Homo-oligomer: A and B are copies of this chain.
Amino acid sequence: MKDRIFRVNLNTLTTSVEDVPAAWAGHGGRGLTSTIVAAEVDPTCNPLGPKNKLVFAPGLLSGTVAANSGRLSVGAKSPLTGTIKEANAGGTSAQLLARCGCKALIIEGQPQGDTWYSISINQDGASISEESELIGKGNFAVVDTLSKRFDGKRGIIAIGPAGEMKMSSANISVMDPDGGIRSNGRGGLGAVMGSKHVKFISIDPGDGKVEIANPDAFKDANRRFAKALVDHPVSQALGQYGTNVLVNIINESGGLPTRNFTQGQFDGHEKISGETMHDTIKERGGKVKHNCHAGCVIQCSQVYNDAKGNKLTSGFEYESIWAMGADCCVDNLDHIAEADQIMDDIGIDSIETSVAFGVAMEAGVLEFGDGAGVCRILKEEIGKGTALGRIIGNGAGSVGKTYGLTRVPVVKNQAIPAYDPRAIKGIGITYATSTQGADHTMGYTIATNILNVGGSCDPLSKEGQVELSRNLQIATAAIDSTGMCLFIAFAALDNAECLPALIDLINARFGINLTADDVTNLGKHILKTERGFNEKAGFTNLDDRLPEFFYTEPVPPHNVVFDFTGEEIDTFWNF
């Protein structure tokens, strides 16, 4: 299949298939969504208005058999942050889109009336249909219904009620190989899809295949690449305990944000840890290992059953468990799992929403620790779009503003995730400087600050943190362009075989000759493209700061504050 650009216009209800412009040809995934958004979206536009565009792009290697290459990037101007945004997720759709020859799907415009639509993708391009049956339905009902409607053969990308209601933390949900839900979680991209009245996208590649320029070299490189992944101890820990292996590790470091970021350790950490989760899953007959897309060799996902042995949730990740757990002081893993499942169904970012609950607890909306209350509010308020539901569904910043609080852990209005930037300073640099608001995945310094992957860097010292975050953010922007899961980074940082094998994969796929320098330059180019968009949207260095309380409230047990000056933070951009 020749790669092309598929375009859907909701103003005119028309679609087109276009050749790939030369300037976009070397891009995929995040690099491509950010390039297209920067080229075609007015940075000052209203993110929920007709001028915003929603761009879907599989990575450079998606649709091939390359290990862990099934991530789907989605980009737009974010209604949560006002910045450019890319969120990526697993599931089957990246691979299926690539097999349709769809290098990127651009959804633009906005219908005038109340009618909702779906978009269908195949090798010939996109088509638009009216949709009514599924409007108002949760993601699981959407996936169930469409699996029947389409004989289970298509990939599904959908929004839940939160996206329809244009909540700022609405995510975009992607069906995984088992009919579960994976999420392009952050930045409210589901609200952009909702603003365009697109309930779901289905993908049917038929017999479409991704062409490989040099199959033998590809096969060889993939063998080396996959071996590097499975050999790394962090990959192995992720397979055994999931990402939730981090609860005990981060708690031990004193950087586990607890009770709305007032403490760095959680008394109930054992009850929600990866080890406890692992044992509970085994005891109840769930799945300890599970892959979010075909070809994953790490398998950090899992299926978590309830006490009766029925599936409660899957893809139960550390950040969600930390946020609903430690940050909200909920030490009941079943409540957290139920909340996770409801958030998947409503289609709302579990980090943003859980941190918003932490802030709401500080505001007195409900008690810290009230897991049952969280589940009730998720279902009865957020899911139904009540006033309280909308306040929380618009994220942590919304709750903080609405209740007049000052301890509101957001950067560029996006909730700070699972690592306290006072006790783990490198990640604070990432939160501050990320082009997309607070996001650990933009430059995961935890690897080096805590896990001693890629060297070591004292988390409590300022020394080396800016450089660490810079190098990781550059590498991440490149990795996010390949379709690779970010968890390849552990092997890439420690194993000298890994990155060359990845570059060989790309070269074999396209018949080109990229070097390691080219990949670094790609990462830099992407970051600068994103920052350029943000500057034209009105952002300045002054937005690259943490909230005031991180500078003034020491966090136990280390009793440290975030002590980087603005000038020190701004050196991040010296490249």
Contact = CB atoms under 8 A, between A and B. Distances in A.
A402 B398 contact: yes
Contacts of A402: 387, 390-391, 394, 398, 402
Given A46-B406, A403-B390, A404-B166, A538 B542 contact: yes
A168 interface: yes
Q: Which of A48, A49, A391, A404 has the most CB of B within 10 A?
A: A404
Interface string A140-178: 000000000000000000000000011110000000000
A53 interface: no
7 residue pairs, one from A and one from B, having the closest CB atoms = A166-B404, A538-B542, A387-B388, A387-B387, A49-B406, A46-B548, A390-B402
A547 interface: yes
Interface string A373-411: 000000000000011101100100010011111100000
Interface string A67-85: 0000000000001000000
A405 B44 CA distance: 16
Nearest to A168: B401
Contacts of A398: 401-402
A195 interface: yes
A513 interface: no
Nearest to A43: B542
User: Interface SS of chain A: helix, strand, loop or mixed?
Assistant: loop
A501 B540 CA distance: 46
Contacts of A549: 49
Contacts of A425: none
Contacts of A46: 406, 547-548
A533 to B, nearest CB: 12
Contact of A404 (B191, B403, B543): B191
Nearest to A195: B404
A465 to B, nearest CB: 21
A537 interface: yes
Contacts of A168: 401, 404
A545 interface: yes
A76 to B, nearest CB: 14
A537 B543 CA distance: 9
9 contacts: A44-B545, A166-B404, A191-B404, A390-B402, A391-B391, A402-B402, A537-B542, A538-B540, A538-B542
Interface string A50-65: 0100000000000000
A569 to B, nearest CB: 12
Q: Which of A44, A402, A542 has the most CB of B within 10 A?
A: A402
A29 B480 CA distance: 55
A79 B403 CA distance: 12
A512 interface: no
Contact of A542 (B44, B406, B548): B44
A548 B49 contact: yes
A390 B391 contact: yes
Nearest to A393: B402
A388 B390 CA distance: 10
A39 interface: no
A17 interface: no
A45 interface: yes
Nearest to A363: B390
Nearest to A381: B387
Contacts of A51: 548
A538 B547 contact: no
Contacts of A386: 387
A29 to B, nearest CB: 28
B401 A391 contact: no
Nearest to A166: B404
A547 to B, nearest CB: 7
Nearest to A404: B166
A361 to B, nearest CB: 15
Contacts of A387: 386-388, 391, 402
A27 to B, nearest CB: 27
A549 B46 CA distance: 9
Contacts of A542: 44, 536-538
